[in-house]
Amino acid sequence: MFPLSIKVIPLAVEGVSVSLRVEDCMTRRVVTVEPGYSVRYAARLMKLYGISSLVVVSEGRIVGIVTERDIAYRVVARGLNPERVRVRDIMSHPVIVTYPSTPLEEAVEAMFRRGIKKLPVVNRSGEGSKLVGILSLTDVARLQPKLIEAMREAFPQAFTEGDEFYVT
């Protein structure tokens, strides 16, 4: 699965607790594609936006997710023509989603447990759910240094010179 294990824990310093939620870490601008588009078009979108996945939507509903890996394994490695293969033919589905209010630790644990690197974020379940963001393991990794620096500024008495932090 993943060679690195990570544990996101609620932080407590002198009685102050910090619990992060998915909305604190997610990317809010999500690039989407419809299932009928070609894989070549999807790859061009990824290149244009510098991203590694697209959420697949149809009539406003999430129906799948397509990643660089899907394209590499399911199209390129098989020698298929990316102009003729449709996104619907290679997308992963059903899609596991989460909510903005989900504790970050729960979302990360679910990603590791299921072996996924991207988790679309919706505002509520059912027919009226709306895509509001996407959480990636990269988002979580980017947050760590910012969080530690903010804690050092807010609680300098809790840190001593030379304290090291790492992900285990």
Q: Are 66 and 56 contacting, i.e. CB atoms less than 8 angstroms apart?
A: yes
Q: Encode pLDDT of 50-104 as tens digits.
A: 999 999 999 989 999 999 999 999 999 999 999 999 999 999 999 999 999 999 8
| Parallel, antiparallel or unpaired: strands 11-13 and 53-58 | unpaired
Locate 54 and state its tokens. 């697209």
- The two tokens of residue 29 are 């601008």
Protein fold of 11-154: CBS-domain (3.10.580)
Q: Which helix (H) or strand (E) holds 154?
A: helix 137-154
Report pLDDT digits (tens) over 129-148: 799 999 998 888 887 776 66
Tokens of 118: 């991207």
User: What is the distance between the alpha carbons of residues 145 and 114, in angstroms, rounded to a whole number?
Assistant: 26
107: three-class secondary structure by DSSP: helix
Per domain, the residue ranges of the chain are 11-154
- pLDDT tens string 18-60: 578 999 999 999 999 999 999 999 999 999 999 999 999 999 8
Q: Tokens 């992963």 map to which residue? A: 92
Give the predicted TM-score (pTM) of the model: 0.76
